Structure 1
Amino acid sequence: MLILLPPSEGKAAPRRGAPLDLSSLGSPVLNPARERVLDALGELASGDPVVAATTLGLGRTQVELVDLDAGLRTNPTARADRIYTGVLYDALDWASLDAAARRRGASRVLVTSSVFGLVRPGDRIPAYRLSGDVSLPGLGPVAAVWREVLGAAVEEQLGDRRLLVDLRSGTYAAFWRPPASLARRVATVRVLHESDGRRSVVSHFNKATKGRIVRALLEDGRTPRTPAALAEVLRDLGWLVEVGDPTAQGTRLDVVVTEV
């Protein structure tokens, strides 16, 4: 089983640590694209901070975040599972997982990143600010950069028998969409909040539940190989799960919750 996560917009900036070393990251096939994004982002952030903030979609009170991007190659790094924060990652709570669950996470979890493409939990990266819908001067949309190369890296990690559990948000799903040849081994998960007989997608419920799902799967340890088998595991773990019809891009599982 391979679990694809979105990144968090907020990130913890380490105060100490070695600078970025691309050769130490997983999926080295992505390094040329990583270099291109780092160069374009660094050049933007080293110029006019107001222009950079506007391009990055930052508010007036967030201009200091441009400094993170200006120092990406020299700022301290830390493990990615300590860099990413926010509702999903708070619910996942890497630090409190037992040793066996952390070992599973090291081989089963990948985070989609606007700067690095794919990141393993143990990869050492700096904090950064670059949303997946940004277009960088001289480079263009970062999503387009990753669409060219991400598929080969994901499929290399997936192998011939693993199930892909896609928990990415729409912005990061645009970086790579599974081909029809993988459809029978792809499960996308949508979280629906049910209240007074109505169902809707609510960001907070969606993120928190996805974090809890990943945590539960890592603690449980089973390795389902089909979307239907994953649905059964999730039901065993206490969730209400509805399985959609297979499509050319996989099978959607709807996880229905009534409280966060």
Structure 2
Amino acid sequence: MLVLLPPSETKRDGGDGPPLDLAALSHDADLGPVRTDLCDELVALAGDRPAARAALGVSQRQDAEIDRNAALRTNPTLPALDRYTGVLYDALDAGSFTRATRDRARSRLAVCSALFGLLGADDPIPPYRLSAGSKLPGSGTLAARWRPALDPLLARIADGELVVDLRSGGYAALGTVPGAVTVNVLARRPDGSRSVVSHHNKSHKGGLARLLATSRAEPADAGAVARLARRAGHLVERDGNHLDLVIPA
């Protein structure tokens, strides 16, 4: 089983790993050329502050994000699972994993990044700023650039194991996973009706990711994922390969 996570815009500073080595990242043979081009473009773009702000969707007060990109190839690295922060990653709480659960999570978790494509949980990366909706000058959308490389890679992965896709829409557009189990978070109102949860869905998806990453169970299909979540106390509704996590409004 592979649990596919979105990244986060917020990232932890620092690190104790060596500078970025793109060839050392997972799936280099498939994704290396796109990674190299995007890294080169981000570093060059950092030299033009107004253009970088426009492309990245940041303000002058966020110029530290541009500084991160300028130092992309020289800053220290951290494992991807430790680099990303924010609501989903707070709920995942990888820092509390035991050695055994960390090993299990390492083999089950991956991150879909706008800059690096598909990352393994322990792939060493520096802090950076690039979102799925960013538009680099003189190039197509990031989805248009990634899909020729990510689509066939994700199809091969999905052909051999179950994929639980917890990505948000913008990151799901970077590459399609045939037959993946998808998840929404719905709020149940007192009258029984449902509404889509927006921001706080990240927390519930992070909790589900933690459950799937650390469980000794090895779900083989959407039904098994739903049963595992229900045993952990979640209210889950299933429609084929799609699951709704239902929470009180």
Verify same fold: TM over 0.5: yes
Letter in 2 for 1:169: S
Structure 1 partner of 2:143: 143
Q: Is 1:200 paired with 2:192?
A: no
CA deviation digits over 1:82-141, x for unaligned, max 9?
110000000000010122221111111110001100111111000010110111113321
Q: 1:255 aligns with which of 232, 240, 245?
A: 245
Structure 1 partner of 2:163: 164
Structure 2 partner of 1:175: 174
Mapped to 2, the partners of 1:199 and 1:63 lie a distance apart of 40
Mapped to 2, the partners of 1:59 and 1:203 lie a distance apart of 24
SS state at 1:136 partner: coil
Q: In the comparison of the two structures, how many residue pairs are matched?
A: 247
Mapped to 2, the partners of 1:27 and 1:165 lie a distance apart of 19
Q: How does 1:186-197 map to 2 (within 5 A)?
A: 186-197=180-191
Mapped to 2, the partners of 1:175 and 1:108 lie a distance apart of 20
Q: Is 1:211 paired with 2:198?
A: no
SS state at 2:200 partner: helix
| Preserved CA contact (<8 Å) 2:183 2:242 | yes
| Preserved CA contact (<8 Å) 2:4 2:111 | yes
Q: Is 1:101 paired with 2:101?
A: yes
SS state at 2:199 partner: helix
| Preserved CA contact (<8 Å) 1:50 1:63 | no
CA deviation digits over 1:20-56, x for unaligned, max 9?
011111111211110111111111112x212211211
Mapped to 1, the partners of 2:145 and 2:35 lie a distance apart of 9
Using the size of structure 1 for normalisation, the TM-score is: 0.90
Structure 2 partner of 1:84: 84
Question: How much is the aligned-residue C-alpha RMSD, in angstroms?
Answer: 1.6
Structure 1 gap segments, 5+ residues each: none
Letter in 2 for 1:217: L
Mapped to 2, the partners of 1:82 and 1:236 lie a distance apart of 28
Using the size of structure 2 for normalisation, the TM-score is: 0.94
Structure 2 gap segments, 5+ residues each: none
CA apart distance, 1:216: 1.4
SS state at 2:3 partner: strand
Letter in 1 for 2:37: R
